[in-house]
């Protein structure tokens, strides 16, 4: 299994392409569909699903293009599905100069629950870590020792909590209760910035000490 990080959009969201043999998952296509598509064409892999960690506007900008061009489903927490259609909830209306991000209701969206899941040959666990938003989904690929965490946890930092549904105390508690209990060697791929590990964040992240 291979992981490709593609920073996209004005906020340089880390879109992740998870490749397993000749298929791939797209996680958080925040924008610049051309960059995502170019990589997929270059590698000759077939996308089978879009996974969303959380529905803030900078993480969802190219969902519709991915879903329509590849004819694949989109998976998201049921707590945040409504954000896809509301520029106030997803935050795009809050930032001057950013167009309202609103998904077309014709796109096939599936609710995803916390717990283990198989999507064809991809096996992983959904871990719900709310606090940055109402439902921060983290995708833990235990067999391959990595987790995609969206904006829940960053290199030496954590997600902001001043957007709709954010709560600092809830976020810190859930990170400690759910993410920091993963193996210390687990590689952490955040929604922005460089990757880290559970061990590093336990020791060096001042927000969690």
pLDDT in the model for residue 97 = 79
pLDDT class of 95 with cuts at 50, 70, 90: confident
Mean pLDDT of 89-117: 89
Among residues 78, 72, 63, 71, the alpha carbon closest in space to that of 112 is found at 78
pLDDT class of 54 with cuts at 50, 70, 90: very high
pLDDT in tens, 138-161: 999 999 999 999 999 999 999 999
Structural domains for the chain: 2-208 (3.60.15.10)
d(CA 8, CA 57) in angstroms, rounded, equals 12
Give percent of the chain with pLDDT exceeding 90: 89
Residue 204: pLDDT over 90: yes
Q: Which residues of 50-60 are buried (b: 16+ CB within 10 A; e: fewer)?
A: bbbbbbbbbbb
Give percent of the chain with pLDDT exceeding 70: 100
Alpha carbons within 13 angstroms on the beta-carbon side of residue 113 total 2
Of 23-27, 29-33, 87-91, 204-208, the least confident: 87-91
pLDDT class of 99 with cuts at 50, 70, 90: confident
């Amino acid at each position: 299994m291979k992981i490709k990080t593609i920073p996209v959009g004005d906020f340089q969201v880390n879109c992740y392409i998870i490749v397993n043999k000749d298929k791939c998952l797209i996680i958080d296509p925040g924008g610049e569909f051309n960059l995502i598509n170019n990589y997929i064409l270059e590698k000759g892999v077939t996308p089978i699903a879009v996974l969303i960690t959380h529905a803030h506007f900078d993480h969802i900008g190219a969902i519709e293009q991915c879903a329509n061009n590849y004819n694949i489903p989109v998976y998201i927490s049921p707590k945040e599905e409504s954000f896809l259609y509301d520029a106030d909830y997803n935050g795009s209306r809050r930032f001057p100069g950013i167009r309202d991000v609103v998904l077309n209701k014709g796109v096939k969206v599936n609710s995803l629950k916390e717990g283990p899941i198989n999507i064809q040959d991809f096996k992983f666990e959904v871990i719900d870590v709310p606090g940055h938003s109402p439902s921060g989904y983290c995708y833990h690929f235990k067999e391959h020792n990595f987790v995609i965490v969206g904006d829940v946890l960053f290199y030496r930092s954590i997600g902001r909590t001043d957007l709709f549904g954010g709560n600092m105390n809830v976020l810190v508690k859930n990170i400690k209760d759910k993410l920091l209990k993963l193996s210390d060697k687990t590689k952490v791929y955040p929604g922005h910035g460089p990757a880290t590990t559970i061990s590093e964040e336990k020791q060096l992240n001042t927000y969690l000490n």
